[in-house]
Copies of this chain bind each other. A is one copy, B any other.
Amino acid sequence: MSIVTIERKVLEKNDEIAHQNRQFLSEREILTLNIVSSPGTGKTSILERTLEQLYGRLKVVVIEGDVQTDLDAQRVARYNVPVVQIITHGACHLEAKLVQDALHKMDLTGAEVLIIENVGNLVCPANYDLGESMKVVVLGTTEGDDKPLKYPAMFRNAAVLLINKTDLLPYVDCDLGILRANALQINPSLRIFEMSCKTNAGIAEWCDWLRLNVRARSKGTDRA
């Protein structure tokens, strides 16, 4: 039995459980985001700003994925939303089974949006479907404008790109025009938002779009 066969089986098994998760979440009309990025790009900060913006407007629940520590769940819990922390103990990505276990531990009554913050890794989570409605990839301006070309799978599999840390643009070598062009070269249908968690710029636009998607979803139409 070759390793490739094993890997294919692992992915098939994952896809099967992801399919169950998708059905489970879809029956409850919960829009599910799988947020992926490198470590330190600001996934948790975006989550915090999003929770602030959506407070009283949408009911959000959160699953936090980390290699180690529950620091992120502690940050999110301050916003008074249900949160489950998954610690992978060294594993480089979340898998559908871990998310399934987490879902069964959560009170999903009235939940309209589930945000899953994946492990910080721009490579491995690209191949693991968790049952999400869409993958949201985050890139910081500090990471440079060539990253979509160097890590294409993640940008190909995502529906949305959030460009974070726009407040640092004056100090870093990152051309937003080139970054956008590189991302759209890999995935022409990417929806792109620019934002800064420091100044709050762009957060409202992103959250408005999310609310539009939740409304479209509950009407049974496609996302905007």
A-to-B contact residues, CB < 8 Å: 1, 3, 6, 10, 38-41, 66-69, 71, 90, 92, 119-124, 139-140, 142-144, 146-147, 149-153, 165, 167-168, 171-172
Contacts and interface: CB of A to CB of B under 8 A. Distances in A.
One complex includes copies of this chain to the number of 2
A122 B121 contact: yes
B67 A123 contact: yes
Contacts of A90: 123, 153
A143 to B, nearest CB: 3
Contact of A171 (B41, B92, B168): B168
Minimum-distance CB pairs A-B, first 3: A40-B143, A92-B123, A142-B142
A214 to B, nearest CB: 30
Given A1-B1, A92-B123, A171-B167, A149 B68 contact: yes
Contacts of A171: 167-168, 171
